[in-house]
Structure 1
């Protein structure tokens, strides 16, 4: 799977988790915390693979400004996750913060899929994207085993450098 296909698939998986979370909240289901943990882990691991591999690999020419904005959006997402990690689902602000998190993620995904990915496809060959996809998948698989959400609070001071 190439890098863009992998990242797009991960976007869809997180969107599905947000939908399950909303249904669980409506029903008062006990799975709310588990779903939050899965969303936060997926977002943390996804942001890490983008920041460590994908973004630096495509940080040239027309994509540079888009990538600077993207890491700032990641930072906003991480700050909301860090807040949520300190909250209980029964807290009155928990549901509201989750909605803000979802909206931040949806905005970020839309920009990546409509703008950034199109630019990247022009910059890289299919083979290069496939090789990078394998690297991204390998790192994601490693990270997701480690409860990556727990690292998020230490990553909220500033956006990571890309160059």
Structure 2
């Protein structure tokens, strides 16, 4: 198991759910609402899991490999993208399900998410596979899977300041004795949000 594979699996599921929305009759607002509700919750859960687990680890291995500038830029971009996706998801909620405005907002959310996934797949995931050894990627995959399982019902969306996020993640990385998250830490993080 590898965290980069789990993230790619999540990306596939996001693409699949957006594609399902495009294939449902516009008058079937119950089905549209159900699929969109699942997708909206999943987008946020995925972003939070990356921000809690993947991006701090990417920063850590990038700094250790003396590639801090590159991984910092990737992380800044990713957190900025997550904020754009959150904003796009919030815009969908402002419209009546199945209306033209709703479809326009869903398309904008799809575009923001697709752009983010493509960039992350080209850069962050590729760099992490190059910089982190498989045992570390496996340990993070377990943590990532547990985080998503613990928070299966969703998490509260909160925009983050990308620069502040990077500073905090780097500081936490410097002060962490073990450099790993446990399921207990994930439960504590969940309880505090």
TM-score (norm 1): 0.89
Number of residues of Structure 1 aligned to a counterpart in Structure 2: 157
Structure 2 CA distance for partners of 1:73 and 1:87, relative to 1, 3 Å:
same
Residue aligning to 2:175: none
Q: Distance in 2 between matches of 1:83 and 1:13?
A: 21
Q: Distance in 2 between matches of 1:75 and 1:21?
A: 22
Q: Which runs of 5+ in 2 are unaligned?
A: 63-67, 170-193
By how many angstroms is 1:157 displaced? 6.4
Q: Deviations over 1:94-142 (max 9, x none)?
A: 1001001001111111111112111111110001000000000100111
Residue aligning to 2:72: 64
Q: Which runs of 5+ in 1 are unaligned?
A: none
Q: Aligned pair 1:110/2:118, yes or no?
A: yes
Residue aligning to 1:6: 6
Q: Deviations over 1:141-163 (max 9, x none)?
A: 11122x33xx22xx136446132
In the TM superposition, what are the counterparts of 1:35-74 in structure 2 within 5 Å?
35-59=35-59, 60=62, 61=68, 62-74=70-82
Residue pair 2:27, 2:98 contacting (<8 A) in 1 also: no
By how many angstroms is 1:35 displaced? 0.8
Residue aligning to 2:135: 127
Of 143, 158, 165, which aligns to 1:161? 165
TM-score (norm 2): 0.76
By how many angstroms is 1:39 displaced? 0.7
Structure whose alpha-carbon radius of gyration is higher: 2
**Deviation >3 Å, runs of 4+:** 156-160
Higher RCO structure (Cα 8 Å, ≥6 apart): 1
